[in-house]
Structure 1
Amino acid sequence: MSERTMSNVALVPSVRSRLWASGISFVLGFAVANYGILMISKPDQWVWLGVAILLMLTGAAGILFADTNKSVSFWAVLGIEVFLVFTLLPLLWTFTVATTPSELTATSLWPDEVTWSAFSDVLGSDELRRAALTSALVSGVATLVSVPLAIGASYALVRVKTRGRRVVYALVIAALLMPLVALTGPIADQVIAFDRYGSRWALVPAALLITLPLSIWLLVTVFKRAPWSLGDAVRADGATRRQWLVRFVVPAFAPGILVVTLLVFVVGCQDYVLGAALSTTDAPLPASLLMARGDLESSSATIAAVGLLWAIVPAMLLLVAPRRIHQLLGRSYR
């Protein structure tokens, strides 16, 4: 048996595994259906019944395809369905809160009356526009500083055979995983000592704590997946440095570096810990919403509207470059 055939056989889940996944999916759907019928009133009841039908159909399909050679894992299908439920239902609730008239209170997942006044208030608010501009500027500058530095660091970690590079990479991961709350006190003391507390630009050095380790971590994946043998062949064929850059470097690295830059920018825009700790007047948007939670008019609807508008950029990035993002954040076993 060839190596490829053996790998394909190993990818086919066992009958027992499929039956367990099917049984759990069916029982979970049955429980959701009963809870929805007995405890949930309309129109939300239809949401519960829809989720229950989906889970029960998955269980039935798992039983039908249990004894086949198709490499379909119903544990993965069940996991995706649960993930979608826990992602889409909160988004639906956020949309309902954002579009509910100010004189009413949202009580169900489906909006009874839809009004777009909260979105108009958000787009017309000088305070929120200034906070969004602060987030974009701080994250943009930090990203522009981090990515070039990360390119050199990632190249060295992947291509340069030096002692201690695993330790360096472990330190990068440790910096990426370090809770920012533990660093806000010392950073705030330094900002106050330099008399820059409250300044928009004081947030940029602190934002590097997020953007630089993340850039290195993502770009290491880009450099590991690069076809370096092709680059060596181009140089061996007598290509000049300019031809090497045009024919190898740009096609091999530019798409990945662009996606990394956009991902780092989006992640940097989501910070609220450093923004709330280092600025009170020109705070980024997430920190502004955190600190002004009780001061905003129609607070719940406004915050929900801001959240939906703020989610447009990462959603567009996910739709435009899903394969690149999967390669950076996931792992393919095929």
Structure 2
Amino acid sequence: MTPSVRSRLWASGAAFVLGFAVANYGIIRVSRPDLWIWLGLAVVLMATSAAGVLFADTRRAVSIWSLIGVELFAAFTLVPVLWTFTVATAPEGTTPNTVWPQEISWAAFDGALHSQILQDAAVTSVFVAGIATAVAMPLAVGAAYALVRLPVHGRRFVYALVVLALLLPLLALAGPITDQVIAFDRFGTRMSLVPPALAITLPLAIWLCVTVFRDVPWSLRESVRADGATWPQAFVRFALPNVLPGVLVATLLVFVAACNDFVLGAALSADDDSRPLPATLMLATGQLEASSSAIAAAGLLWVAPVVLLLLVFPRRITQLLGRSYR
């Protein structure tokens, strides 16, 4: 669908007004070097406004509103990351007062890597997320295959329940789950975090695997089997190139989501020995030397594998997260 000329002109006007406001606010209220961040955003918005006017009367499927949304999303994402980097690299005993880093010291990263509290918390996160993912993925593959390929009665209702479980706020489950863990006398252990973690991994795994199986060319499997291929040959020629890559990326996404859980980790952990890293970063202020810098550095180190995953599999992740079951 090609946007209308009126829509593009309205978007161009909005981008110009927004860029003009950002530039004036930066010049009046913001000092250097943060001023350059505001001016950079203003220039991008005004350039978008000019591009909207130039492309207003063309048939190209360019949405100026979408460009504005992407630019604002990037700004609201990158600026907090930059501030976290500034806090993490601030010299010991100093508090940064600008978003742009002035002096860079890597001592906090070294402290975060050698902190026993953070090391134990990272091991707990990987341990719990790994087991929960290993349990969830085989179940999700079978469920997704049934939802996509088999004429199961009420499969749309079942899929709706999966999405409902995926959207259910974990905070509402934290209290009842904690009571059950205490009743089984397992509160404060790493293994007590694994069953509740399935509330995160299983619905997400089913949702992602449904998307994977929807994009699989199943007619190719029928052709391979019609040619007389055995089950091992069909697996090698069909499943490995067509199914396994998507399932692998889905597994990595489920693992990352489980690693980043904060609610259940904080509710079901009695002390630092059983607390995963996200909960530790939120609750460890004052327990670490140079706590603000160390926590910021640990957060950046923890998010680095996620960024690497996005850089390695950008197209596959976009396909998984941008599709739905119909």
- TM-score per shorter chain, which class? over 0.9
Asked if residue 249 in structure 1 is aligned to residue 239 in structure 2, the reply is yes
State the Cα distance separating 1:102 from its structure 2 match. 2.3
State the Cα distance separating 1:302 from its structure 2 match. 1.3
The letter for the 1-side match of 2:198 is L
Distance in 1 (alpha carbons) for counterparts of 2:240 and 2:64? 40
Distance in 2 (alpha carbons) for counterparts of 1:175 and 1:293? 32
Distance in 2 (alpha carbons) for counterparts of 1:159 and 1:258? 20
The letter for the 2-side match of 1:147 is M
Helix, strand or coil: the match of 1:294? Answer: coil
Identify the match of residue 287 of structure 1 among 279, 284, 290: 279
Helix, strand or coil: the match of 1:115? Answer: coil
Q: Deviations over 1:165-200 (max 9, x none)?
A: 111111111111111111111111111111111101
Q: Deviations over 1:5-31 (max 9, x none)?
A: xxxxxx222111111111111110000
- Where structure 1 has 5 or more consecutive residues not aligned to the other structure, the ranges are 1-10
Q: Deviations over 1:103-150 (max 9, x none)?
A: 111100111211111101100101100100100010011001100110
The letter for the 2-side match of 1:294 is G
Asked if residue 27 in structure 1 is aligned to residue 17 in structure 2, the reply is yes
1:319-330 equivalences under 5 Å are: 319-330=311-322
The letter for the 1-side match of 2:293 is A
Percent identity for Structure 1 against Structure 2:
63
The letter for the 2-side match of 1:322 is P
1:53-64 equivalences under 5 Å are: 53-64=43-54
Residue 264 of structure 1: aligned partner: 254
Asked if residue 203 in structure 1 is aligned to residue 160 in structure 2, the reply is no
Distance in 2 (alpha carbons) for counterparts of 1:211 and 1:171? 15
Helix, strand or coil: the match of 1:32? Answer: helix
Identify the match of residue 297 of structure 2 among 297, 302, 305: 305
Identify the match of residue 137 of structure 2 among 147, 159, 166: 147
Worse overlay, 25-34 or 294-303: 294-303
TM-score w.r.t. length of structure 1: 0.94
Worse overlay, 17-26 or 286-295: 286-295
Distance in 2 (alpha carbons) for counterparts of 1:34 and 1:288? 41
Asked if residue 231 in structure 1 is aligned to residue 221 in structure 2, the reply is yes
Worse overlay, 258-267 or 288-297: 288-297
Distance in 2 (alpha carbons) for counterparts of 1:293 and 1:273? 17
Distance in 2 (alpha carbons) for counterparts of 1:147 and 1:309? 26
- Where structure 2 has 5 or more consecutive residues not aligned to the other structure, the ranges are none
Worse overlay, 321-330 or 298-307: 298-307
Identify the match of residue 175 of structure 2 among 177, 185, 200: 185
State the Cα distance separating 1:331 from its structure 2 match. 4.1
Runs of 4+, deviation exceeding 4 Å? none
